[in-house]
Structure 1
Amino acid sequence: MPGLEHTAIIAATPERVWAVVVDVERWPERIPTVDSVERLDDGPLAVGSRTRLQQPRLPEAVWTVTEMVDGSSYTWESRSPGVTVTASHVVAPHPDGSRLTLALTVSGPMSGAGWLMTRSLTRRYVETEAAAIKQAAESATT
């Protein structure tokens, strides 16, 4: 299954990093690879929560949370014809604060061709997202 993983060490508590990661409504102001976010349900992010996400140069996608360990990780997936994209966000304690791991896999009959076309863009986006989350978590403002 094609995919990638990126880890960043963040000089902030896991609670602070987690707060930034799950505050998806603020991603467009914090993360330059996110144009718009629309939560499709009320309340905090939880299993079953759906979020419409628009990113530059990618089709709009609806992401559904499939797994959640409150305070430390969540996984969500987006489905389109022939492709399922699964993305995980994991926050763990680290001697210097926190370790953020972002991972993404693609599966389905069309995943190989799709991955070939989007792999380098996706890698840049994941690296940019980790850096933006790091910056937001390390800043004094929430």
Structure 2
Amino acid sequence: MSAFHEEIDVDRTPEDVWAFVIDPSHMPEWQLSAVSAEQLDEGPLGVGSRLRITRHVGSRDMPMTMEFTEYDPPHAWGMRGIDGPVRGNVHGRITPLDDGRRSHLTMDLDFEGHGIGKVLLPLVVRPQVRKELPRNEQLLKDKLEHTAA
């Protein structure tokens, strides 16, 4: 069981949801703590691809590298943090609804603390995520439902 679990229904196809969620350039549009995100390697995204994500955590901007551990368009993805004091583990799943006209999005998120991250995790990171994650999902839903296909 993950530390954080969120689910939403979105009035967009699984392919539309996938295209938006998986594109690193959109991350700052729907994740409040994301300052920037970029792919670090050449070619299409897939298992093993790495992203550099800078997040505003507490009063600091913290860069971190995430690696795709699962990549199954337009159904599921997984990522794990591979550096930094706080390393996230993310799993997302998109399930079609109404013959594929709508989508059910599930996201699970947990963290590992390394070094100072063991202190930051309970004091700063988890409380911030607890507040932010439901808002992120609402932002994502609003972006997807109010953007032309």
Normalising by structure 1, we get a TM-score of 0.83
- Is the aligned partner of 1:105 residue 2:106? no
Amino acid at match of 2:20: V
Superposition deviation, residue 120 in structure 1? 1.8
Superposition deviation, residue 138 in structure 1? 1.1
Distance 1:50 1:81, change over 3 A: closer
Q: How large is the RMSD of aligned CA atoms in angstroms?
A: 2.5
Q: Relative contact order: is structure 1 or structure 2 higher (C-alpha 8 Å, sep ≥ 6)?
A: 1
Distance 1:48 1:112, change over 3 A: same
Q: Determine the structure 2 residue equivalent to 1:75.
A: 78
Query: Structure 1: any 5+ residue segments left out of the alignment?
Result: none
Over the matched positions of the two proteins, sequence identity in percent amounts to 25
Amino acid at match of 2:92: H
Match of 2:142 among 117, 123, 135: 135
CA distance in 2, matches of 1:70, 1:137: 17
CA distance in 1, matches of 2:104, 2:130: 18
CA distance in 2, matches of 1:108, 1:83: 5
Normalising by structure 2, we get a TM-score of 0.80
How many residues were matched structurally?
Answer: 142
Query: Structure 2: any 5+ residue segments left out of the alignment?
Result: none
SS at match of 1:46: coil
Stretch of structure 1 that moved more, 127-136 or 16-25: 127-136
Q: Determine the structure 2 residue equivalent to 1:125.
A: 132
Superposition deviation, residue 109 in structure 1? 7.0
- Is the aligned partner of 1:92 residue 2:92? no
CA distance in 2, matches of 1:100, 1:59: 27
